[in-house]
Amino acid sequence: MDSDGVQSLPTPLSTGRFMQTVGQQRGGFRFLTIVSHSDGPIGIAGVGVENTFMPHWDDLRAYTGYFFTKDPNFHDPDFLTKLWYAGAYTIQTNTIDAHQARQQPCPSPNGWANNASSGPIEGPVLVDGAKRDRNVWPGSSIPPYSKTNV
């Protein structure tokens, strides 16, 4: 792994299932890129990704509130509705399990470890960033925390 999120795997992998550990998971990402540096053919089957954000919700579309509005005078009449859902989705991607915080300092010189405790709390934690910065920064968290009450 490197600090930008590339996880190199030794090849060939044994036949079977490979799954990242909790510490290797980045969070916030919803995609997977596979690159081979081999000149020969490779076989890949049964590839999938799993969202790990908002772990306490079974259905990420089950919002407790909804927001729909139209502004016929704006160039995009649905802009405010889109803005509301973008904010709600951002809160979801920035919510992690209390035991998936970033280890500081990182135990690996070229990577990350997202399996530390985020503090003496239970339940999910709203962090500053879903991907690389899985720490709680009180100053920059004030706007998102106020949004969770809407």
Pair of tokens at residue 75: 């160039």
Blockwise average pLDDT, block size 10, the chain, 150 residues: 62 73 70 81 81 84 83 96 88 84 71 76 77 57 58
For 27-49, write each residue's pLDDT tens digit: 666 677 788 888 888 888 888 87
Query: Domain tally for the chain?
Result: 1
- For residue 48, the Cα-to-chain-centroid distance in whole angstroms is 15
**Residue 105, preceding peptide bond in cis (omega within 30° of 0):** yes
- State how far the Cα of 114 lies from the Cα of 133, in Å rounded to an integer: 10
Nearest Cα to 28, choosing from 58, 9, 49? Answer: 49
Rounded CA separation 133/96 (Å): 12
Residue type for 55, please? Answer: P
The number of beta carbons lying within 10 Å of the beta carbon of residue 20 is 14
* Token duo for residue 43: 């076989």
pLDDT at 91: 83
User: Could you tell me the two tokens for 46?
Assistant: 């049964």
Domain that holds residue 72: 1-150
Cα–Cα distances in Å, from 29 out to 15, 67, 132? 26, 25, 10
Beta strands in 11-102 (DSSP E): 95-96
Instruction: Report the predicted TM-score, pTM, of the whole model to 2 decimal places.
Output: 0.68
Q: For residue 65, report the phi and psi dihedrals to the nearest 5 degrees.
A: -140, 160
